[in-house]
Chains A and B, each alone.
Chain A
């Protein structure tokens, strides 16, 4: 059997494009607005969510035949919160600097609706391996949007990328100014809307029927 059957391939690659959690399902918008004013936290958040959603998917998938239906949401939440706490504790002991950057996002990861969405919609009904790929796919699908938005917000809002100045001083001397609006959350949602616009223009089948 091939490592990636067509179904598992769809689980991995679908969320990157036509089944994207942010720009098609419009999930995880809240954290996408909060952490994208700079590129670096956007990347850290993308990696963290990818790891957490992948491993939470595997754990829920392994437990899926034992979980009582009535408390399944609670079980999912406990699994996610436990994973995030353990990751945070380990980082605090072995990578203190990374933890300092990440600590802000720990709460946001737990409340990210993409996680609950994937656990509920996929992991409860599929085996561990497809669930793992589904988690990676959705994490990356969420992540690339964050990184694109973070790239433009930092570039246009601060004139820097990853904290390094990229817009030359000569531009500022000639009267160029950083766009302060880029630093604020409304601009992030406008950027996400622009991505959705471009995405739907390319993928016409995603457009809703008018009238």
Chain B
């Protein structure tokens, strides 16, 4: 066959070979690295849960610290009742592997942590920022209302603006805030810096990251709101 570089046959063959080679190469890379990637993702999730408990550890220590602090984990239904046979803290157990918003999920995950002898409840959150998803974990005291710590992360908010929600200074503001007021779930508001909110506890949003701040505000209302009944039960039981 003549090697005319401008012929249609050559062009089409070239494109086909290129696409197949690239596809095989990428698929192979992904398969080879998949186990390590999943392991990293699990450790990253443990680090996030630990950060919501104000424990900041490196990836190497995460597994041990997670094992020490997290006593129990399970799924709850919308009425806040524990779903049977969902207990377990390991990565393959339902509480750890269930993603929020998954329509096939049997419930919503709750982690119980014991920090310095007192019980905290850690719940996941998920919502939308400006460019993509935002998520986080919130550690709540045994009264179901007082926030012990919060952790936020995002897939692609603007560095320096919306991405600042993952900054310690932003997260620390949530400590000690209350989700309940007058026996009613009010969540915590994220307001423009300098503004206030008379109806609920509030924290300052990010300057220049308005949409992301509103996303966090909505996530706190709606995603945490899903746990309303569960938190209410804790609140009435431990008043």
Contact = CB atoms under 8 A, between A and B. Distances in A.
Contact of B26 (A37, A38, A85, A93): A85
Nearest to B22: A82
Contact of A35 (B26, B40, B155, B159): B159
Interface string B196-236: 00000000000110000000000000000000000000000
B44 interface: yes
Interface string B29-42: 11001001100110
Name the interface size band of chain B: 20 to 34
A183 B33 contact: no
Given A85-B26, A93-B37, A157-B160, A66 B208 contact: no
B160 A93 contact: no
Interface string B98-114: 00000000000000000
Chain B interface main SS type: helix
A37 B164 CA distance: 11
A80 to B, nearest CB: 11
A74 B43 CA distance: 38
B18 interface: yes
Nearest to B153: A100
B54 to A, nearest CB: 19
A69 B160 contact: no
Nearest to B40: A96
B14 A67 contact: yes
B159 A75 contact: no
A104 interface: yes
Nearest to A181: B208
Contact of B156 (A85, A94, A103): A103
A78 interface: yes
B18 A90 contact: no
A43 B161 CA distance: 17
B159 A37 contact: yes
B11 A92 contact: no
A104 B166 CA distance: 14
A113 B215 CA distance: 32
Contacts of B14: 66-68, 71, 75
B160 A158 contact: yes
Nearest to B14: A68
A154 B161 CA distance: 11
B36 A93 contact: yes
A67 B208 CA distance: 46
Contacts of A100: 44
A70 B29 CA distance: 29
B11 to A, nearest CB: 4
Interface in B137-181: 155-156, 158-161
Nearest to A65: B5
Interface in B12-31: 14-15, 18-19, 22, 25-26, 29-30
B160 A82 contact: no
Given A35-B159, A41-B159, A68-B14, A180 B207 contact: yes
B159 A71 contact: no
A104 B153 CA distance: 13
Contacts of A78: 18-19, 22
Contacts of B156: 103-104
Interface in A76-124: 78, 82, 85-86, 89-90, 92-94, 96-97, 100, 103-104
A89 B160 contact: no
Contact of B158 (A34, A66, A68, A90): A34
Contacts of B161: 37, 183-184
Interface in A133-156: 153-154
7 contacts: A41-B159, A67-B5, A68-B14, A71-B11, A82-B25, A90-B33, A104-B159
Interface of B: 5-6, 10-11, 14-15, 18-19, 22, 25-26, 29-30, 33, 36-37, 40-41, 43-44, 59, 155-156, 158-161, 207-208
Going nearest first, the 4 A-B pairs with the smallest beta carbon separation are A37-B160, A93-B33, A93-B36, A96-B40
Given A71-B11, A89-B37, A92-B33, 12 more contacts: A37-B161, A69-B6, A71-B15, A78-B19, A82-B25, A82-B26, A90-B33, A94-B36, A103-B155, A103-B156, A154-B160, A184-B161
